Amino acid sequence: MADYNLVVRGGTVVTASDAYRADVGIIGERIAAVGENLQGERSVDAGGLLVMPGGVDTHCHIAQLRPEGGTDEESFTTGSAAALLGGTTTAISFSTQFKGQPIRDTLNEYRELARASAIDYSFHQIISDPTDEVLAEIPGLVEAGIRSLKVFLTYDTVHLDDRQYLQVLSVARRTGALVTVHCENYDAIDWRARALLADGRTAPKYHAWSRPEIVEREATYRAIALAELVDQPIQIFHVSSAGVAKEIARAQARGVKVWAETCPQYLTLTAADMDRPGFEGAKYMCSPSPRDVQAQEGLWDTIRRGTIDVVSSDHSGFSYHGDLGKRSNGEDAPFTNIPNGLPGLATRLPLLFSEGVAKGRIDVTDFVRLVASQPARIFGLTRKGRIAPGADADILLWDPTRKVKITNDKLGHAIDHTPYEGMEVTGWAEAVFLRGQLAMQSGKVVAAPGSGKFLARDAYDLIKPTGRLADGFDAAAMAVGPSGKRLV
* Interface ranges with Zn ion (CB under 5 A): 314
- In the complex, minimum distance from the CB of residue 116 to Zn ion, in angstroms, rounded to a whole number: 21
Q: What is residue 49's DSSP assignment?
A: S
Question: Cβ distance 215 to 240 under 8 Å?
Answer: no
Span between the terminal Cα atoms of the chain, in Å: 60
- In the complex, minimum distance from the CB of residue 40 to Zn ion, in angstroms, rounded to a whole number: 40
- In the complex, minimum distance from the CB of residue 79 to Zn ion, in angstroms, rounded to a whole number: 13
| Euclidean distance between CA atoms 156 and 187, whole angstroms | 10
- In the complex, minimum distance from the CB of residue 404 to Zn ion, in angstroms, rounded to a whole number: 26
- In the complex, minimum distance from the CB of residue 314 to Zn ion, in angstroms, rounded to a whole number: 4
Closer residue to Zn ion in complex, CB, 22/263 = 263
- In the complex, minimum distance from the CB of residue 236 to Zn ion, in angstroms, rounded to a whole number: 12
| Euclidean distance between CA atoms 322 and 71, whole angstroms | 13
- In the complex, minimum distance from the CB of residue 60 to Zn ion, in angstroms, rounded to a whole number: 8
In this structure, the number of other CB atoms found within 10 A of the CB of residue 365 comes to 17
Closer residue to Zn ion in complex, CB, 14/113 = 113
Closer residue to Zn ion in complex, CB, 93/319 = 93
- In the complex, minimum distance from the CB of residue 353 to Zn ion, in angstroms, rounded to a whole number: 22
Q: How many residues does the chain have?
A: 488
Strand ranges for 385-483 from DSSP E: 395-405, 424-434, 437-441, 444-445
| Euclidean distance between CA atoms 29 and 104, whole angstroms | 31
- In the complex, minimum distance from the CB of residue 265 to Zn ion, in angstroms, rounded to a whole number: 11
Closer residue to Zn ion in complex, CB, 22/370 = 370
> Nearest Cα to 370, choosing from 354, 383, 385, 360?
385
CB-count burial class (<10 Å; 0-12, 13-18, 19+) for 41: exposed
Closer residue to Zn ion in complex, CB, 11/290 = 290
The SS3 call for residue 450 is: coil
- In the complex, minimum distance from the CB of residue 96 to Zn ion, in angstroms, rounded to a whole number: 11
Closer residue to Zn ion in complex, CB, 15/58 = 58
**CA 78, chain centre distance (Å):** 17
Closer residue to Zn ion in complex, CB, 181/203 = 181
Closer residue to Zn ion in complex, CB, 314/366 = 314
Closer residue to Zn ion in complex, CB, 13/56 = 56
- In the complex, minimum distance from the CB of residue 462 to Zn ion, in angstroms, rounded to a whole number: 22
The SS3 call for residue 35 is: strand
Question: Cβ distance 167 to 126 under 8 Å?
Answer: no
CB-count burial class (<10 Å; 0-12, 13-18, 19+) for 294: exposed
Strand partners, 258: 234
Task: Tell me which residue has its CB nearest to Zn ion.
Answer: 314
Strand partners, 164: none
- In the complex, minimum distance from the CB of residue 287 to Zn ion, in angstroms, rounded to a whole number: 8
Question: Cβ distance 62 to 42 under 8 Å?
Answer: no
| Euclidean distance between CA atoms 107 and 134, whole angstroms | 13
What are the distances in angstroms from CA 418 to CA 59, 94, 314, 319, 408? 18, 22, 14, 9, 6
Q: Which contacts of 221-228 are long-range, i.e. CB under 8 A and separated by 24 or more positions?
A: 221/247, 222/153, 222/162, 222/183, 222/185, 223/153, 223/165, 223/181, 223/183, 224/248, 224/251, 224/256, 224/258, 226/162, 226/165, 226/166, 226/169, 227/169, 227/179, 227/256, 227/258, 228/256
Question: Cβ distance 165 to 134 under 8 Å?
Answer: no
- In the complex, minimum distance from the CB of residue 127 to Zn ion, in angstroms, rounded to a whole number: 14
The type of residue at 32 is A
Closer residue to Zn ion in complex, CB, 12/262 = 262
| Euclidean distance between CA atoms 20 and 421, whole angstroms | 34
